[in-house]
Amino acid sequence: MTDQNDDKMTDLELARQVRELDLEIQPDRDLWVGVQRKILDNPRKSAREKQFWMPYAVAASLLVAVSALLLNLFQLQQVDTVEGRMAGINQLEDEYVKARNPLVDEFTRVNHSLDRETKTELYRNLKIMAAAREKLEAEVRANPENTRLRELLIKLHEQELALLRQDFTRPSRSL
Amino acid sequence: MLYRRHIGRVFAVCVRLLKDRDTAEDISQEAFVLAWKNLHKFRGDSAFGSWLYRIATNAALSQLRSQQQFLESLDSDETGALVPEYRESHDEQLGLETAISMLPDGARAVFVLFSIEGYTHDEISALLGVAVGSSKAQLHRARMLLRKILS
């Protein structure tokens, strides 16, 4: 028999001996007393004790989440409202400028023949109206939620455009 | 009583891994205390005994890991030095239990876990924090040393 065969035999014998080993070995002394003492020194927290705070934690988390959601929605709504109003103001002014520009040209052409004093008075009044419009536009932009200011601005636009449409060279026209 | 039913297996794995009976007794106690503290984590999807033995195995390995020589032993593949030294001082035929206790720590741990406790090399690799190849090498080393000791 070769050394390899001897090793193989020993290996099988080793496996047999391992199978025959006792799975249990008893300690020399009773360990339960020590186990009991350690358990009493460090009482176990039950799962229920450890997790009693879970519903509160879940409730708190939900409360925070819902609050955050509502706050975000409110802020989004506010942004939407403010942005919407500002867009409305921009549109209002754009429409006014589109209507006004051709009327200014027409006004200049139609009233070209007026005397110097009348034209001076006319343009002075237009200048006062323009200054008032600019102030009112600034106020409307500063207070986009104020519908009363917006109505005043619209009214002023209409008055200015009505003035520009007039032909002051015809009789019975006065400022 | 759970203690009476399981102390034999718990102490067996501890004393085979740790070699020293006093330390094994301390770790066996610790395993029962740990099981008591973590009883809420026992899900019942395995036998209580298996769960308890795993706790005991982990506790014993944790104790072993705290010893520098154990970590060094896991990296070693030396097989020759132990046997002549032992044979010179022991004339009688040896039992397997004694022979196992003579193994280097790393080889003994892998042999106990694989051949006696039935862990796989993958599980041993995870438990000891070594590569699967190292676990296999340590098992080979343990078998070779045991054959020499027992022959």
CA-CA distance, B107 to A11, in Å (whole number)? 16
pLDDT of residue B72: 72
Burial A2-35 (b: 16+ CB within 10 A, else e): eeeeeeeebeeebeeebeebeeebebeeebeebb
Among B30, B40, B143, select the one facing A11 at the smallest CB separation.
B143
Residue A5, pLDDT > 90, answer no
Number of other CB atoms surrounding residue A138 within 10 Å: 10
B28:A27 CB<8 A: yes
- What does the DSSP assignment read for A102-140? HHHHHHHHHGGGS-HHHHHHHHHHHHHHHHHHHHHHHHH
Residue A19, pLDDT > 60, answer yes
ipTM surpassing 0.85:
no
Structure tokens that stand for A119 in this block:
């034209």
A35:B11 CB<8 A: no
Top-confidence residue, A18 or B94: A18
When scoring A11, A19, A24, A33 by the number of chain B Cβ atoms within 10 A, the one with the most, hence best to mutate, is: A24
Q: What is the pLDDT of residues B22-66, one digit of tens each?
A: 999 999 999 999 999 888 888 776 788 999 999 999 999 999 888
Q: What pTM value is reported for the model?
A: 0.55
pLDDT of residue A44: 57
Q: What is the pLDDT of residues B96-122, one digit of tens each?
A: 899 999 999 999 999 999 999 999 999
Among A31, A47, A50, select the one facing B29 at the smallest CB separation.
A31
Residue type, A39: I
